[in-house]
Structure 1
Amino acid sequence: MRFSSAIPAFLLAITAPVQAWNRLDKDNAALLVIDHQVGLSQVVRDFSTNDFRNNMLGHAALGNIFDLPTVLTTSSDGGPNGLMVKEIMEMHPNATFVRRQGEVNAWDNAEFRAAVRATGKKQLIIGGIVTEVCTAFLALSLIDEGYEVYANTDASGTFDTRLAEDANRRMERAGVTLMGIPPGLNELLPFLDKYQFAYGLAARHHAGALQNGTLAAVELGLI
């Protein structure tokens, strides 16, 4: 019996290296701020109120840091859902702002779809309230449309952690990349100092030790 030395094409496909993650490209990305409204933010229980406020503002600030096209949208902001958080509106005075009246999934709104398509970007960073509806429904719709979707789980909140975990698992299985506040140095250190203060404190401590020579001799054994 003879065995061919040729490797079938399908085996080559199986053994070929695959890219394990998608790298965000600021030149091909847009930021979507979904229903970060003062009424809805009060139902968020998987973050503390202060932490989630910082997360919402940090999410919105990414648009200005990296000069990303930004689309804001609210759901029924004349009722209990409330207005878009004021600080977010002030960050993006010239952004497209879509006030939806009734569409739970933002993608069901024609004006919002047009605004997203008008960015011309294929990578979309999204965050919204609540996670299992406003973030997940939109993320899944965008995947169906062929976009690369990055769901900011720091900037998406809901009634409890179980709902958040279920929604994140559903999105991930559909191909959504789950992310949080991004790391970085030159552009992001002032941002992290403002919105992720734990890292800001570490940076301040390092800078202070270098500037003031406050390193104790015993600390040298720790590095």
Structure 2
Amino acid sequence: MTITAAITATATPGASLISPTDHTLVLIDFQSQMAFATKSIATELLRNNAALISHAAAVFDVPTILTTVAVDSFSGPMFSEITDAFPGEPLLDRTSMNTWEDAAVIDEINRIGKTRIVFAGLWTGVCIVGPVASAIDQGFEAYFISDACGDVSVEAHERAVQRMIQLGAVPMTSVQYLLELQRDWARTETYDAVTGVARKFAGAYGLGITYAKTMFGASEGGH
């Protein structure tokens, strides 16, 4: 007979859940030329989700790296929905398709000093797989926001997602990212900002918040 030790539950979050202070967000190649060829997700939804995670990170002061490829000579400017969330933040322009092979980006990764990295950008199968695989190989934890990534076809995006999961990366969605940062509606210092981001960018969920607040004065957690 096998005797199993009793397990005691505690009111504490799982270690795999992200928090505002435990990761760096890296936003890669959200640029016009890259978006033109993206077919796995509608451009307007991609821009919306990119805006959602950017403003979420800004609310929580998540250290964020913005990087582009050939910004002046080929790919064009980064989405304003992202740069508006980070006024004055420098754009690290690269020649390499793999962000992890760019010395300036790696200097910034090391300066920030987080071992958990969350990635999003274009295209999934090239510019996201490359740094995800490289980060994991060097001992970092890698997460990626799948609905804030896109590729030249659904097939290309999905195979890239499968490949990253097989390597050990953790997929997330944009609304999940926002709510995992908040995690408790009793955190009143960010409550208004988070629901504001949700109302503006979180689709039907945001519409529901607007409706409930307007019609009933409702709020999560009784605020």
> By the TM > 0.5 criterion, same fold?
yes
Residue of structure 1 equivalent to 2:56: 62
Residue of structure 1 equivalent to 2:144: 151
Q: Is 1:173 the counterpart of 2:173 in the alignment? A: no
Residue of structure 2 equivalent to 1:25: 19
d(CA) in 1 for partners of 2:217, 2:200: 21
Of 179, 194, 208, the match for 1:202: 208
Residue of structure 2 equivalent to 1:137: 130
d(CA) in 2 for partners of 1:59, 1:98: 19
SS of the residue corresponding to residue 71 of structure 2 reads: coil
Residue of structure 2 equivalent to 1:42: 36
Matches within 5 A, 1:71-220: 71-101=65-95, 103-181=96-174, 182=176, 183=179, 186=191, 187-211=193-217
Shift of 1:52: 1.1
Letter of the 2:127 partner, please give it.
C
Taking structure 1 as the reference length, the TM-score comes to 0.80
- Unpaired runs of 5+ in structure 1? 8-18, 213-223
d(CA) in 2 for partners of 1:190, 1:69: 21
Shift of 1:85: 1.8
Given that residues 145 and 171 in structure 2 are in contact (C-alpha distance below 8 angstroms), is that contact kept between their aligned partners in structure 1?
yes
SS of the residue corresponding to residue 154 of structure 1 reads: strand
Change over 3 Å in CA distance of 1:21–1:95 after alignment to 2: same
Shift of 1:178: 0.2
Given that residues 59 and 127 in structure 1 are in contact (C-alpha distance below 8 angstroms), is that contact kept between their aligned partners in structure 2?
no
Shift of 1:207: 2.6
d(CA) in 1 for partners of 2:161, 2:29: 18
SS of the residue corresponding to residue 128 of structure 1 reads: strand
What do residues 58-110 of structure 1 show as CA deviations (whole Å, max 9, x unaligned)? 22223211101111111111233112123322322343431102x11011111
Aligned residues: percent identity? 26
Change over 3 Å in CA distance of 1:83–1:208 after alignment to 2: closer
* Structure 1 consecutive aligned stretches of length 4 or more whose deviation exceeds 4 Å: none
Please say which structure displays the higher CA radius of gyration: 1
Shift of 1:21: 7.1
What do residues 150-189 of structure 1 show as CA deviations (whole Å, max 9, x unaligned)? 1011111111111111000100111101001123552522
- Unpaired runs of 5+ in structure 2? 4-12, 186-190, 219-223
What do residues 13-57 of structure 1 show as CA deviations (whole Å, max 9, x unaligned)? xxxxxx997111221211111011111111111221211111121
Given that residues 131 and 157 in structure 1 are in contact (C-alpha distance below 8 angstroms), is that contact kept between their aligned partners in structure 2?
yes
Given that residues 73 and 99 in structure 1 are in contact (C-alpha distance below 8 angstroms), is that contact kept between their aligned partners in structure 2?
yes
d(CA) in 2 for partners of 1:65, 1:161: 31
Taking structure 2 as the reference length, the TM-score comes to 0.80
